[in-house]
Structure 1
Amino acid sequence: MSAADKAAAVDLLAQRLSDKYVFADEGNKMAAAVRDHLRKGDYEKAATDAEFAELLTTHIQAAHPDKHLSIRYFLNAPPDRPRASLSNGIPPEMRQRMTEMGQYLNFAYEKVERLPGNIMYVKFNGFFDADIAKAAATAAMNLAANGNAMIIDLRENRGGDPRMVAHVASYLLGDKKVHLSDIYFRAENETNSFWSDPAVPGPRFGADKPVYVLTSRETFSAAEDFTYNLQVIKRITVIGETTGGGAHPVQPFRINPNLVAVIPVGRSINLITKGDWEGTGVKPDVAVAADKAMTKANALALRQVLPKITHPNERSMLEKKLAELEAAL
C-alpha cells in the first residue's frame, strides 16, 4: 500500500469515527489520534494491508478502548450497506448465504438435554438473525418448556441479533410484555426498543421456575444483553465468570479496497439501570471458573427441585447425584 493510499484510508477512517462512533467526543479523540500517527510517519513501517490494519486497531484502542472496535483486513471488501434496523433485516444478497451457514450450524443450537430431576440443559453459541433462525430457537425452547428448572449455557456464545435475544427471553417470562432494553444509535438519533412477546409459538417455560445462565470470559455482546437484562429483573441466576464486556452494536465501513473499519455505532440501555455492561462485563451472581459453572448450576438446580420429588427411589437417586456434584466442586 502506497503512502497516498494509507493517508486516504486514515482520512476516511477518521471521518467515520467522528461521524458514526457511538460517543461523539471519543470518536473525535480517536480520529485525532490516527491523524497524529499519520503525521508522525508511524504507518510507514506497515508493509502489508494486514499489518496496517493491526496498527490502526492498536492506535484507536489506545485512544479509547472498545472491544467491538477494530480495523480488519478484508480482501475486496464489499461496499458500505445501510445499518440493519428493526425494519431493515438481512440484505437479500446475504440471506441465502447466511441461511446455508445457519443450517449447517443448526443456527448455533448445540444441545437440548433432560438431566436428572427434569432439569433442562440448553446450549447455544450464538443469536442468529431472527429473520432466519426463529424456528430453531422456538423448537429448542418448546422442548425445554416442561422442565422443573433450566440451565442455559452461554459460555461460548459470542452474540448476534438483539431481536433473537428478545425472542428467547420471551420463553422465560410471563403473560405481560416486558421492556427488556433499548439500543440508541447516535448518527441517526434513533432508538430501537426490545420487548418480550407473550405470544411466542408453542409452550413457554414461564416466569416462575428457576433458570441458571452459565457465563465465561468469552460470553459477549448479545449473549451479555440476554444475561444482563434478565439478571437485572431477577429472572435468572448467573453462574460462572464475568463476561467479555461488549455492549456496543457495530457497523462495518470500507476505508480501503481491502480494509474494513468495524465501528460501534450504538449503545445498549437498560431501562432500570440506565446503563449497560460495556467494559465491565456482566458479573455473575455465583462466581466460579467457567469449567465448574455447569457442575455448580446443576447442583443448585437439584437443590431447588428436590423438595418437589416425592417418590422415594427417585429422591434417593437425586440426593446421590447432588452429593456427587457438590463433591466435585
Structure 2
Amino acid sequence: MAKVLFVLASLLIFRNDLLINAAFDSSIIIEMAKIVMDNYCTVEKVLGMKNAIEAASSNTEVLNIPDGESLARILTSGVRGTIIDPRPVVTFEPNYVPASPPKMPPLPPEQLVAVLQTSIKLDILEGNIGYLRIDHILGEEVAEKVGPLLLDLVWNKILPTSALIFDLRYTSTGEVSGIPYIVSYFTEAEPVIHIDSVYDRPSNTTTKLFSLSTLLGERYGIAKPLIILTSKNTKGIAEDVSYCLKNLKRAIIVGEKTAGGSLKLDKFKIGDTDFYVTVPTAKSVNPITGSTWEITGVTPDVEVNAEDALATAIKIAKLQSQIPAIIDGSAALIADNYAFEKVGADVAEKLRGLLAKGEYNTVLSQEGLEIQLSADLKTLSGDKGLMTTKNTPALPPMNYSPEMYIELIKVSFHTDLFENNIGYLRFDMFGDFEEVKPIAQIIVEHIWNKVVNTAGMIVDLRNNVGGPTTAISGFCSYFFDADKQIVLDKLYDRPSGTTTELRTLAELTGARYGSKKSLLILTSGATAGAAEEFVYIMKRLGRAMIVGETTAGASHPPKNFRVGETDVFLSIPTVHSDTTNGPAWEGVGITPHIPVSADAALGTAKGILNKHFAGQK
C-alpha cells in the first residue's frame, strides 16, 4: 500500500505533460492519507499508509496539475486503487457549504399526510398481495413521530394482506436506526434477534443491532410471504435491510444486484484547502454470514431486470399464497393415512409447525416446494418412502412374445451352480403377483429348475430395491412344505383399518425347495422394501441365515395421494408389518445373523455352506 501511494505521489510530481501554471502543495497527499488512515472503516486496509505519509512528507516539490478537479480525480483513483474500494472520492469544492442534517419540520397534520403520501406508495394487488414502496428509510426517531399516521395511512392497510412485496428498487437513502425498526415488523417479539453489527471507525466502537421487542402497531409476522424488490440503485440502508431479512430467511430478494454502497459516508476537509475526501467510516458485519453487503452488493434470490422484478414477484407471491393450504393438506393426508398412526400425527403436527415458523417463506417455485417438502418429510419421519412424487400414469401392459419373455427373464435373474451343489439365485426387484403369474411357468423352466435340486441355496438380495409385496407369499412358499399352511406376516392397512394375513400357498408352479435344505440370504444397505419383507419373514420364522449388512429400513410400497386440487402429490407408506411382538423392519432395517460387508457376503456364505457340506462327508 505504501508503495502504491509513493508511486502516486511521484506520478503527480514528475508527469511533465500535466505541467501548467496551477500549483498545489504536497501536504494535500499527507493530509488526505491521514484522514483516510484515521477514518476508513476497515483498519486492515490502511495499515500500510503510515509509510506512505512519511514518504510524501519528505517531498517538498510542488504538485503541478492543470486544475483542482483534475488533481481530485487523480487522487480519487489513487486512493481507490490503494485500498481496493470504489467508494472513496476526493473533490475540489471552493464554494462548499456543509449541509445540516435534515430535520422533520413541525407540519400541520394535513401537510404531513401529503408528505407521507408522496414518499410512500401503497397498493393492494390481485390475490390480496400488498405492495409497499419506500424511497427513504426513516430513522427510529422520525418514525416514532409520524408513527400513528403511518399506521393509519399505510401499515393497517398492509396487515390484512396475504403476502407483501416491499419495493426498494429506488431506495438510496436512510438512517441506520431504521434498520432494526423495519426488520422487527417481520420477526417475532421474542426472542430478540441479533440482526447486524455496525463498526464505527472514528470512535472505534461496535454497535450491535437487535430486533425490537415492542413496536407501534402489529407485526406482519414470520409466516406470511415477504418479497423485496431491488435494483442497481438500491443503496446503503436499503441494502442492509435486504441483506438482514434475506439471511434471516425471512424474505425473498427479486431483481438486480444492489449497488454495494455504504452504511455511512463522511466528508472531510483536507487541511486548509478546498479539497474534500469522502470515505466510508462505518461498516456492517452480518452476524449470520460474518460478511457484509458493502462493495459487493446484495445478490437476489431471483435475478431479473429491475423493470421485470414486480411481475416476477407477483408470480412468486401467488405460489407462496398456496403453500399454507398445500402444507396443511399434506399434513392431513399423512395424519390420516401414514402406516403408523402416532408417527403420522407427529409428522403432521411438526410439518404445520415448520410452516408457522416461516420455513417455507423462501420457496421460489413448485419444484423448490416439492424438494423442501420431501426433505422435511423424510427428516421428520425417518422414512425414505414418505416424500413428494410425480403423478406418473401407469404404463400399459406390454404384449411380449414368449421368446421376448424368456430373454427378459434371463436378464432379470441370474443363477449359478457352485461346488458342493450349492445353488445361487439373484434378482434385483420383486414383481407384481398378477404380472408374474402368467409367466410363472417360464420362470420355473428357465430359472428355478436350475437351482431347485441343489443341496443348499444362496439367494442374493444385495441389490434388490423392492417392488410390490403381492408376490411375497408365493416366493416364500417355495421354501416351506405343502403339508402345512404357515402365517408369514400380518399386514395392517391404515386407510382401511384392516389387517391381512400373508400365508404360504397350497399350490405352486414347479417344485418346492422345501423347509429342510440350507438357505442363506445375502443383504446390503440397499436391500429395501419388498426384499426386506421377504428377509424379515424368513429370519423371523428361522428358515434362513442372513449374511451381509443391515438392510435399508424402508417401507412397504407406498400409495400416491393428491394434495387437494393442486399438482402436488405425496408418496405415503400406508401398510406396516405385524408389530404386536415389537418393531418390525420398517425404519430400522434387518440385522443379519452374520454381519459382513456387502462385498464379502457371497464369499462368506459360500464358505459357510462348504464347511457345512464338508462336515457331512
Q: Tell me the TM-score range normalised by the shorter chain.
A: 0.7 to 0.9
Partner AA of 1:52 in structure 2 = L
In 2, the alpha carbon distance for the partners of 1:34 and 1:241 equals 40
1:63-82 deviations in Å (ceiling 9; x for gaps): 22324321234444457xxx
In 2, the alpha carbon distance for the partners of 1:119 and 1:275 equals 33
User: How many residues are treated as equivalent by the alignment?
Assistant: 294
In the TM superposition, 1:24-39 aligns within 5 A as 24-29=43-48
In 2, the alpha carbon distance for the partners of 1:108 and 1:53 equals 37
Cα–Cα, structure 1 residues 122 and 37, in superposed 2: closer, same or farther, change >3 Å? farther
Contact 1:120 1:151 in 2 (8 A): yes
Among 213, 218, 222, the residue aligned to 1:203:
218
Tell me the SS of whatever aligns to 1:266.
Answer: strand
Tell me the SS of whatever aligns to 1:111.
Answer: strand
Contact 2:22 2:65 in 1 (8 A): no
* Map of 1:82 onto structure 2: none
Q: Which runs of 5+ in 2 are unaligned?
A: 1-20, 107-111, 326-617
In 1, the alpha carbon distance for the partners of 2:211 and 2:80 equals 35
Query: What is the CA distance between 1:162 and its match in structure 2?
Result: 1.7
Cα–Cα, structure 1 residues 34 and 66, in superposed 2: closer, same or farther, change >3 Å? farther
Among 157, 168, 175, the residue aligned to 2:182:
168
Contact 1:250 1:263 in 2 (8 A): yes
* Map of 2:299 onto structure 1: 283
Task: Confirm whether residue 147 of structure 1 aligns to residue 167 of structure 2.
Answer: no
Contact 1:147 1:205 in 2 (8 A): no
Contact 1:157 1:223 in 2 (8 A): yes
Among 265, 290, 297, the residue aligned to 2:313:
297
Q: Which runs of 5+ in 1 are unaligned?
A: 80-90, 310-329
Larger relative contact order, structure 1 or 2 (CA cutoff 8 Å, min sep 6): 1
In the TM superposition, 1:163-312 aligns within 5 A as 163-176=177-190, 177-255=192-270, 256-306=272-322
TM-score, reference length from structure 2: 0.43
Among 31, 36, 40, the residue aligned to 1:12:
31
Cα–Cα, structure 1 residues 46 and 219, in superposed 2: closer, same or farther, change >3 Å? farther
C-alpha RMSD of matched pairs (Å): 3.4
In 1, the alpha carbon distance for the partners of 2:194 and 2:160 equals 25
Query: What is the CA distance between 1:32 and its match in structure 2?
Result: 6.5
Among 61, 64, 69, the residue aligned to 2:83:
64
Query: What is the CA distance between 1:249 and its match in structure 2?
Result: 2.4
In 1, the alpha carbon distance for the partners of 2:224 and 2:129 equals 10
Taking only the aligned residue pairs, the percentage that are identical comes to 26
In 1, the alpha carbon distance for the partners of 2:324 and 2:127 equals 10
Partner AA of 2:78 in structure 1 = H
Cα–Cα, structure 1 residues 289 and 237, in superposed 2: closer, same or farther, change >3 Å? same
Task: Confirm whether residue 123 of structure 1 aligns to residue 139 of structure 2.
Answer: no
Query: What is the CA distance between 1:135 and its match in structure 2?
Result: 4.6
* Map of 1:87 onto structure 2: none
Query: What is the CA distance between 1:16 and its match in structure 2?
Result: 0.7
In the TM superposition, 1:33-112 aligns within 5 A as 44-47=64-67, 49-77=68-96, 94-96=101-103, 99=105, 106=116, 109-112=119-122
1:190-246 deviations in Å (ceiling 9; x for gaps): 111212213111122112100000111121221111011111110000011111123
* Map of 2:430 onto structure 1: none
In 1, the alpha carbon distance for the partners of 2:51 and 2:255 equals 39
Deviates more, 1:65-74 or 1:142-151: 65-74
Tell me the SS of whatever aligns to 1:197.
Answer: coil
Cα–Cα, structure 1 residues 304 and 132, in superposed 2: closer, same or farther, change >3 Å? same
In 1, the alpha carbon distance for the partners of 2:65 and 2:231 equals 37
Deviates more, 1:138-147 or 1:121-130: 138-147
Contact 1:159 1:224 in 2 (8 A): no
Tell me the SS of whatever aligns to 2:174.
Answer: coil
Contact 1:107 1:133 in 2 (8 A): no
Query: What is the CA distance between 1:34 and its match in structure 2?
Result: 8.8
* Map of 2:550 onto structure 1: none
**Structure number with bigger Rg:** 2
Contact 2:225 2:321 in 1 (8 A): no
TM-score, reference length from structure 1: 0.77
In 1, the alpha carbon distance for the partners of 2:289 and 2:135 equals 27
Cα–Cα, structure 1 residues 124 and 40, in superposed 2: closer, same or farther, change >3 Å? farther
Cα–Cα, structure 1 residues 226 and 3, in superposed 2: closer, same or farther, change >3 Å? same
Contact 1:34 1:60 in 2 (8 A): no
Cα–Cα, structure 1 residues 35 and 239, in superposed 2: closer, same or farther, change >3 Å? farther
Contact 1:107 1:128 in 2 (8 A): no
1:20-67 deviations in Å (ceiling 9; x for gaps): 1122342255677799799698952341x3333222212211222324
In 1, the alpha carbon distance for the partners of 2:52 and 2:314 equals 49
In 2, the alpha carbon distance for the partners of 1:57 and 1:304 equals 47
Tell me the SS of whatever aligns to 2:284.
Answer: strand
Cα–Cα, structure 1 residues 307 and 263, in superposed 2: closer, same or farther, change >3 Å? closer
In 2, the alpha carbon distance for the partners of 1:227 and 1:259 equals 35
